[in-house]
Amino acid sequence: MSTILGMHAVSMLSCQAHRSEAACCSWTGQANQSVKSAPPAPKSIFACSLISEMAAAGPEAELGDLIPKKNGMSVIWEYFGFEATDVHQKQVLCKTCRAKVATSSGNTTNLYRHLKNHHGNLHDECMMKKSGEKSSLVTQAHSSKQTTIRASFASVIPYDKSSRRHREITTAITHYIGKDMVSVNMVPKDRFENLLHTLDRRYVISSRTYFNQVAIPQLCAECKEKVVTELKNVEYYATTTDMWSSRTTEPYLSLTVHFVNDNFELKSRCRQTAYFPTDHTGENIALGLRECLSSWGLNEEEQMCITTDNAANVIKAVELNQWTRLKCFGHRLHLAIGKCKSVCLCECLFVKLFIHTDLI
């Protein structure tokens, strides 16, 4: 609009220049002939200075603010507009470079293409706004979706015990109890049930009897089957054994197998920690060790050696089974340190006693 006004001002100044020249020609008696035959008069000095000032001011001075599109919902119309005189809004103009962009009614493809080719940063900004609008619409659609009656009841109905989800959670609890050596008495506790209800309110935990008589024995059988399968390919192995007592002074006999697999990795598997209530004689211990190997399908001839402590009954048991025995280095080191400490203590007491007697 400003450009049209500026050109109109220039044309008015040019007309004034023509009139001035015509007046001069009329004063000399040649007004009509001069006006018809003379070439277009040059712009006046005032008109030239006006055009220079408008060019120096830039496009913002030449053009006014563009008006937005009527009922324009797309984010692209933030970057395009129309002249105020364009009542029917037929000619789209770019707000940045004032270029005319040809587009049909309702089609914005050329508008996006213009931003992408000429104003890359504005195009990126426009696309970010567009993606934000889509995500907000999707969120509103999801939030406005009404939950069905079946879905509402399904969110509170307990899992069937034969369902996959119920079996997964029960198996996880069984592994937690068995492998971390947690007491089964934890199962009926209110706080533990509250924890499970918070994690998944549809899960109802089984009874302590189920874990004690079904779940944990089943896990033990599965673990034993895996170990037996692993030991089938073992050619030679070594073992360690020891007798120990629990906190309630109950005696146990343990046996651990050590072997190297096909990948040359050292593996250790505890075969047994069995309650051993009988007399701890060499004969009973020897029988218990042989029964342990046979229950796991291990051949005594493939055993290279067995490592034990210096207990007399254990040494006798190994001799009765005619196995090669290695003395436990850790046990012997512990005995050596204990004797050294006792000797040093005796020497210190003797020195103190000698000094005290000498002073008296």
pLDDT tens track of the chain, all 360 residues?
444 444 444 444 444 444 444 443 443 344 344 434 444 444 444 334 434 434 443 444 344 688 888 887 788 888 888 888 888 888 888 988 989 888 876 678 888 889 889 998 888 888 888 787 666 655 555 555 566 666 666 667 888 889 999 999 999 999 999 888 888 888 888 899 899 988 998 899 999 999 999 999 999 889 888 888 888 888 899 999 988 888 888 899 999 999 998 888 999 988 888 888 878 899 999 999 999 888 888 888 899 999 998 889 999 999 999 999 998 888 888 888 877 777 666 666 555 555 555 444
Amino acid of residue 144? S
What is the C-alpha separation between 118 and 121, in angstroms, rounded? 9
Listed residue (247, 240, 248, 173) closest to 210, CA to CA: 173
Q: How many CB atoms lie within 10 A of CB 334?
A: 12
pLDDT of residue 239: 94
What is the C-alpha separation between 2 and 83, in angstroms, rounded? 11
Identify any residues that bridge with 307 across adjacent strands, giving them in sequence order.
Answer: 240, 326
The contacts found for 157-160 with CB under 8 angstroms, 24 or more apart, are 157/202, 158/202, 158/203, 158/204, 159/202, 159/203, 159/204
